[in-house]
Chains A and B, each alone.
Chain A
């Protein structure tokens, strides 16, 4: 946020709003929708985000990342208005990687590839459902990193946690998501070539 908080005229505010803020409405709506899972609530959240952005336009450091600034406002509005009673997730260490990717898995040269064309075609809205089943903290980092392409640093600022926590959370979120999608693929008859057997066996 900028220290340069000189008063802006209404005309200047509108100009900034139209040029810097409004182009991100679709991304904000997607983020809001996947936080609330309700179209009406998502619209309210986006509207509230824009109201705050307009009101505090002086605090926006022009020329910097407006999208990240707006996402931070939206995330805070979501926490304040929609998630007061939610629990904090377990802290995850990035070294969980050791437990998930055991070296013997790596030595096996066959595994389920989600991009394999036949699986890819069947995914349909399973991605949407799977993301929806993730805890909000996991869903948030997946959306920010994999849909909106924010960096670790930007995500850290948006959600207000250290970069190490962003990485840990992303790692756990992606693995959880991967497991959910693999379960779906197995239900369609695909084998877990990595372990040499079908997961449902």
Chain B
């Protein structure tokens, strides 16, 4: 396998790893690749950090208690 194919496979696995879509053995091999190559580790970090940034900064709308009460009233009445 050439370097480009290896890199492509690695990047696909980065996404699958962070999305918990690799099997236990695949994850083990993946982590081994990361440990063996600092450049690949940087790609993993970049993708991981994107997800952390999204999760930390997304503004979530407030749910008013009155809204929940309205739903319950409409269903239970």
Contacts and interface: CB of A to CB of B under 8 A. Distances in A.
Nearest to B48: A115
A61 interface: no
A167 B57 CA distance: 23
A127 B61 contact: no
B46 interface: yes
Interface string B18-42: 0111000000000000000011101
A94 interface: yes
A124 B56 CA distance: 10
Interface residues of A, number: 50
A112 B45 CA distance: 11
Nearest to A42: B61
Nearest to B58: A127
A146 B51 contact: yes
A113 B45 contact: yes
A106 B43 contact: yes
A95 B8 CA distance: 8
A128 B75 CA distance: 33
A39 interface: yes
Given A131-B54, A174-B50, A54 B75 contact: yes
B76 A14 contact: yes
Given A29-B63, A50-B75, A152-B19, A22 B58 contact: no
B48 to A, nearest CB: 8
Interface string A106-134: 11010101110000100111111001000
A123 B61 contact: no
A30 B63 CA distance: 9
A43 interface: yes
Contact of A51 (B20, B21, B43, B74): B74
Given A152-B19, A170-B15, A30 B57 contact: no
Contacts of A181: 50, 53
A33 interface: yes
Interface of A: 14, 17, 22, 25-26, 29-30, 33, 39, 42-43, 46-47, 50-51, 54, 94-95, 97-98, 101, 103, 106-107, 109, 111, 113-115, 120, 123-128, 131, 142, 145-147, 151-152, 167, 170-171, 174, 177-178, 181
13 contacts: A22-B68, A39-B61, A47-B70, A106-B43, A114-B46, A114-B53, A115-B52, A125-B59, A128-B57, A128-B59, A146-B54, A152-B19, A181-B53
9 A-B pairs with the lowest CB-CB distances in the bound complex, closest first: A115-B49, A127-B57, A33-B61, A103-B4, A128-B59, A114-B53, A30-B60, A146-B54, A54-B75
